Amino acid sequence: MSTRPALVLTDIEGTTSAIAFVKDTLFPFAEAELDAFLAARGTEPEVAAILAEVPGPDQAATLRGWMAADAKVTALKSLQGLIWAAGFADGRLRGHLWPDVAPCLRAWHASGVALAVYSSGSVGAQKLLFGHSEAGDLLPLFSGFFDTRIGAKREAAAYASIAAEAGHPPGDILFLSDVAEELDAAASSGLMTCQLVRPQDGTVACGRHRQAADFPGVARLFKLPLPPVTGTIAAG
């Protein structure tokens, strides 16, 4: 039987949000806006610092190559976050969340469980998605945001660093992800793990970790509260 975590650390793509939203909405948005963004803002210090990490005589081509390969390169992820910012600000983008996610996050936060995000998406992008989500502004629920600047998601050391920075023993942290290799790495550092196997995303259960089809399923496995039942009671 699992113990109740003090901190729930969640992945985004395939865990809180549809893989299709990231691949078919967010990534094409950044690709379409890339040239105009570089022309307009390429010399700004923040953007220039990111571009200094992008090799090649044709940096736009390098970035497009990384995009096509879905490479989890920190420079690309930082740039995508900056490009998405305009779309989230003017309403062209809104952060997708599976409908079961926000009610559980609210219930867990209300019960005193700390919440944090660990995604390949930049911290800036994570805040955009949860701040402009389909369920409203969820940023106040989270006490930590981590991206690949702390380490790659398939390396155990990243999870040890997150635990140290978050101030919780690894054994008190539950990591949620759809990707088996990320869960393997987290378990190697002593975190509790649960694979989100969402049929809508076509995720395949790896069999090496506890698994749930949604966040209420996670709650049942790890003694976390379930959200209050809403709806009307039919008159008798």
Ligand X SMILES: CSCCC(=O)C(=O)COP(=O)(O)O
Name the residues that contact ligand X, by CB under 6 A. 11-14, 22, 26, 72, 77, 80, 119-121, 125-126, 129, 153
Taking CB within 5 to 8 Å according to partner kind, which of ligand X, Mg ion, none is near residue 201? none
Nearer to Mg ion, 49 or 204 (CB): 204
Task: Work out how close the CB of 51 gets to Mg ion at its nearest, in angstroms, rounded to a whole number.
Answer: 27
Q: DSSP labels for 34-83?
A: HHHHHHHHTTSHHHHHHHTT--SS-HHHHHHHHHHHT---HHHHHHHHHH
Taking CB within 5 to 8 Å according to partner kind, which of ligand X, Mg ion, none is near residue 124? none
The answer for residues whose C-beta is within 8 angstroms of residue 91's C-beta and 6 or more apart is none
Taking CB within 5 to 8 Å according to partner kind, which of Mg ion, ligand X, none is near residue 172? none
Task: Work out how close the CB of 127 gets to Mg ion at its nearest, in angstroms, rounded to a whole number.
Answer: 17
Nearer to ligand X, 93 or 166 (CB): 93
Nearer to ligand X, 26 or 82 (CB): 26
Nearer to ligand X, 2 or 156 (CB): 156
Nearer to ligand X, 124 or 231 (CB): 124
CA 85 remoteness from chain centre: 16
How far is Cα 170 from Cα 122, in angstroms, rounded to an integer?
23
DSSP 17: B
Task: Work out how close the CB of 119 gets to ligand X at its nearest, in angstroms, rounded to a whole number.
Answer: 3
What amino acid is encoded at 82 in this protein? L
Report the residue closest to ligand X, judged by CB. 121
Task: Work out how close the CB of 212 gets to ligand X at its nearest, in angstroms, rounded to a whole number.
Answer: 17
Task: Work out how close the CB of 124 gets to ligand X at its nearest, in angstroms, rounded to a whole number.
Answer: 9
Nearer to Mg ion, 19 or 141 (CB): 19
How far is Cα 49 from Cα 56, in angstroms, rounded to an integer?
15
How far is Cα 67 from Cα 70, in angstroms, rounded to an integer?
5
Task: Work out how close the CB of 14 gets to Mg ion at its nearest, in angstroms, rounded to a whole number.
Answer: 4
* Whether 93 contacts 87, CB under 8 Å: yes
Distances (CA, A) of 203 to 28, 69, 176, 177, 235: 22, 19, 13, 11, 41
How far is Cα 16 from Cα 13, in angstroms, rounded to an integer?
6
Report the residue closest to Mg ion, judged by CB. 14
